């Protein structure tokens, strides 16, 4: 259930450096500044059933999405889409993240956990 870092992650010009951690039930992308400090993340969870994604970026805050994987039919593969979805079960997702974060660098695990704990404060 642990998140494992993917070794070769495509970088996007103009974006901070990306690191990608993959797991069975969730994926985590973390953006880092030039000093290697996290400045944002996107956590996909419930990947095999009603997938959602919670993202946080410095200066922008949170965005929560439902993921449409683009697989409407068994033999078709379309582009996945993200749809805004305000319902976020913070405590459940935080618990799952902490259980999967044991192999993450402590700075990243702590950063994501701290931001997730802040979700309710920002939404009020």
> What is the per-residue pLDDT across 58-73, written as a single tens digit (0 to 9) for each?
999 998 888 766 555 4
| Residue 20 within a domain | yes
Q: How many CB atoms lie within 10 A of CB 28?
A: 23
Q: Domain count for the chain, please give it.
A: 1
124 pLDDT higher than 50:
no
pLDDT band with cut points at 50, 70 and 90 for residue 27: very high
Kindly report the pTM of this predicted structure: 0.84
Closest CA to 54 of 46, 101, 45: 45
Instruction: Report d(CA 46, CA 96) in Å as an integer.
Output: 10
100, containing H or E segment: helix 90-100
Instruction: Report d(CA 21, CA 43) in Å as an integer.
Output: 9
| Residue 124 within a domain | no
Chain position carrying tokens 């993450």: 104
Domain extent at residue 82: 4-119
């Amino acid at each position: 259930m642990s998140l494992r870092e993917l070794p070769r992650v495509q970088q996007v010009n103009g974006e901070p450096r990306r690191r990608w951690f993959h797991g069975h039930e969730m994926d985590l992308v973390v953006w880092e500044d030039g000093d290697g400090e996290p400045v944002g993340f996107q956590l996909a969870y419930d990947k095999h059933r009603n997938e959602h994604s919670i993202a946080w970026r410095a200066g922008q805050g949170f965005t929560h999405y439902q993921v449409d994987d683009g697989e409407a039919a068994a033999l078709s593969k379309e582009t996945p889409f993200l749809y805004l979805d305000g319902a976020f079960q913070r405590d459940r997702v935080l618990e799952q993240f902490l259980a999967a974060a044991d192999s993450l660098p402590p700075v990243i695990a702590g950063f994501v956990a701290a931001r997730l704990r802040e979700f309710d404060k920002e939404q009020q």
